[in-house]
Each structure stands twice: as C-alpha cells, then as structure tokens.
Amino acid sequence: MTESQRIETEPNLDPGWFEDRVVELLPDLLGAARSLAGDPSDAEDLAADTVARAWEHRGDLRERGRFRGWIFRILRNVFLSGRRRRQSRPVEVPLSDEEGEDRPFSLFERLHQPFLLWWSNPEEEFLNGILREDLAEAVDALPDSYREVLVLIDVHGFRYAEVAAALEIPVGTVRSRLARGRSRMQEHLWRHAVDRGLREPPRPGQRRPE
Amino acid sequence: MNEMERIDCEEAVQRLAEYLDQELDPDGSTELEQHLERCRSCFSRAEFERQLKTSIRENLGSADVPAPFEKRVRLLLKGLVEGE
Ligand SMILES: [Zn+2]
C-alpha cells in the first residue's frame, strides 16, 4: 500500500506527524511570512494563523507529499485576506501607479562606474558580500503595495497574471509596482553598500579593501 | 548568416526584467538572447540582475525561527488538538 493510498483511508492526519512537518517547515513559513508582512511580529501572527488554518482544513490535504505546497497556499491566502481587511481603512502614503516614469535606479550601472574599476569584478564582489539582513531590510523598507508584488514574484515565483488576479489589480500595475519596487530596493542596497565604505580607494600595498 | 541586429541596448535593457521573470513572449526572448550573445555589457547586466533575483529568493525564502515562536506554534497545535 502506498503512502497516498493509505492517507485516503485515513482522512484525519495524526497530530504528531502534522506537528513534525509544521516545525520542519517553520523556517520557510516564517521567511515567507516575514517578507510578505514586512514586520517581524506581523509575520509571526501570519505564520501562526496559517498553522491554525492548516490544522482546521487538514481534511483537504489529499497526499502527505503535497503538504509543503498546500500549506504555502494557505499562507498566501491568509495574507491576502488579511490584506483586504487592512485595505478597507486608509493605510500608507497613496501611490500613483500612473505617475511619470522616473528613470529606475540601477545598481548594475552604479557598480560599473570607473572609480570601482580597481575591483576585478565589482558586481560579483557586491553579490558575494550581500547579506540576508541587507536584503530583508531593503524589502521591509518598501511601501506595502510594492513589497507584496515584489515578494510574490521574486520570492514565490508567481506570474504577473497570478499576482494581478490575487491582488485584484491590472497586470500593468503589477509591472509598474514591480519595477518601482526593484528600483527602490536597489537604491537601498547601494546606499547601504556606500555606508559600508564601498567607495573607499584601496591603500597602497593593499590589493582589495577589507 | 547576415542578419541585422534586431534590438539595441536600450531595448534590451527595457525587456530584461520581463525576460528574467519569464514573462517575455518567445520571439521577444529570442531577440533578446541574440543581443545578449553579442553584447558584453548587456550580458553582464543580465547576469547581475539574474543573480540578484536568485539571491533575493534564496535569502528571503526562509528565516531563523526564534525559540519562543516555535514554542508558540507547538502550544497552538496542542491547544487545537486538545480542543477537538
Ligand atoms: Zn547591449
């Protein structure tokens, strides 16, 4: 008898198995919640609500092997329904999706400037030096409407059309929010790198800055 | 083959994000790929953006779980199981 056949005859997953799977997936669930919510305590609430919802609907899970995809779908649904509730009251600075397109900030272009040429490969150095905290901080700093689009696409691999349907906005708006979100995020990462001394020229005898 | 370059750098840069997001139609992708094969600058840019996107996915996909949170989840599940 295969695992999936067994589960058909056993609709109620045993609590021990459920708890083990949840705890095992907790870093991923919390990571997803963290980047979507943009705030640590909201993220914990979102992840906890997801676990509760999953337990409540465990009868819908057909195969144990699909647990991961199934619980992530629940997490996104919990996030999106919470988001609809939040939107019924005015939040954050209104953003115009139609505003004239300012030239997007390009990290690549900054890294390609002549003063950085003493680095063998400034882009590679930059990418290697990037930390999870830097990325998390840059994503958290985005306005909610930019962050959710960017996270659904760049972290969760959603298609533009899927994001448009989930957030009930036109695909063109997804595209422009994504472009602005990425531009702001790159600008944030650049400023952070500059603060850390990216521009400092190497001292004589030193091959690379520390 | 004596094919003319179909798109220039400006057009390539404009299409790059959609290409990396796999949202570009096949013709548009082919034109961009042909440009990337010939243009070192756009190729480097594409590699950089692709790696940055990967880094975002890998780094933000999971988080360190604070011990009190794991405890909260275990207690939550215990409560749900016992409440049935
Ligand atoms: Zn080019």
Question: How is chain A split into domains, by residue range?
Answer: 3-86, 102-195
Residue B62 pLDDT: 87
pLDDT at A88: 63
Q: Minimal Cα–Cα distance from A100 to chain B, Å?
A: 16
- C-alpha B83/C-alpha B37 separation (Å) is 62
**Which residues, 6 or more positions from B34, have their beta carbon under 8 angstroms from its beta carbon?**
B5, B6
Q: Which of A51, A178, A179 sits opposite B76 (nearest CB)?
A: A51
Q: Do B72 and A48 touch (CB under 8 A)?
A: yes
pTM: 0.80
Q: What is the CA radius of gyration of chain A?
A: 22
Residues A57/A63/A66/A72 CA torsion (nearest 10 deg): 0
Model ipTM value: 0.86
In angstroms, the separation between the Cα of residue A82 and the nearest Cα of chain B is: 20
Contact A173, A96 (CB under 8 A): no
- Name the one residue in this structure whose structure tokens are 């980047």: A35
Angle subtended at Cα A53 by Cα A68 and Cα B64, rounded to the nearest 5 degrees: 55
Find out whether A71 and A54 touch, Cβ atoms under 8 Å: yes
Query: Are the C-beta atoms of residues A173 and A146 closer than 8 Å to each other?
Result: no
Asked whether A52 and B80 are in contact (CB, 8 A), the reply is yes
Alpha carbon distance A189, A184 (integer Å): 9
| Residues of chain A found within 8 Å of residue B17, distances taken between Cβ atoms | 178-179, 182
Contact A143, A93 (CB under 8 A): yes
CB atoms within 10 A of CB B21: 17
CB A139 to CB B60 under 8 A?
Answer: yes
The CATH architecture one would assign to domain A3-86 is Orthogonal Bundle (1.10)
Task: Yes or no: say if A179 and A104 are a contact pair by the CB < 8 Å rule.
Answer: yes
**Interchain contact, A153 vs B49, CB within 8 Å:** no
Q: Can you give the pLDDT of all 84 residues of chain B as single tens digits?
A: 335 668 999 999 999 999 999 999 999 999 999 999 999 999 999 999 999 999 999 999 888 999 999 999 999 999 999 987
pLDDT at residue A12, rounded to an integer: 60
Its domain, for residue B20, covers: 3-82
**Which parts of chain A sit beneath pLDDT 50?**
1-11, 90-91, 93-94, 98, 200-210
If 0-12 CB within 10 Å is exposed, 13-18 middle and 19+ buried, where does residue B75 land? exposed
Task: Give pLDDT, residue A97.
Answer: 54
Spacing, Cα A181 to ligand 1 middle (Å): 24
Q: What's the angle, vertex CA A158, arms to CA A157 and CA A163, rounded to 5? A: 150
Q: Which residue of A has its CA nearest to B53?
A: A154
- Number of structural domains chain B divides into: 1
Domain A102-195 annotated CATH 1.10.10.10: yes
